[in-house]
Amino acid sequence: MSDKSKSVIRREALQKDEPMPDLTNYPKVPKIRRQLTRNAFHCHACDTIIESRYHHDFVVCKCPYESETFTAVDGGLSYSRRVGGLNATDLCEYEPE
């Protein structure tokens, strides 16, 4: 079997009106997820470092809410989500691999 992904193989079968191929023995690719150790951003407009410390901890910088420079971070060490941040630097740190 070629290196195509399952979705590409299925899509091609549907386009050709062929039966779906059996992909039960298709090799699985392990997902690599690095663990966050720090979830932070630096807003250059207001010179503030904002850091989300726990899950659903939505932290905003000091910029006005509807300005172009508004930055917010969310997720703690579970995930990293940034809102806005056109003028911000990512300070997130991860465990070494």
Residue-range domain boundaries for the chain: 1-29, 32-94
pLDDT tens track for 29-73? 677 778 899 999 999 888 999 999 999 899 999 888 777 778 899
pTM equals 0.61
Are 75 and 17 in contact, with CB atoms under 8 Å apart? Answer: no
CA distance 9 to 23: 9
Q: What is the pLDDT of residue 96?
A: 84
pLDDT tens track for 10-33? 667 666 766 766 767 777 767 777
Give all strands of the β-sheet with 88-90 in edge-to-edge order: 48-51, 40-43, 88-90
Q: What is the pLDDT of residue 41?
A: 93
Q: What is the pLDDT of residue 23?
A: 67
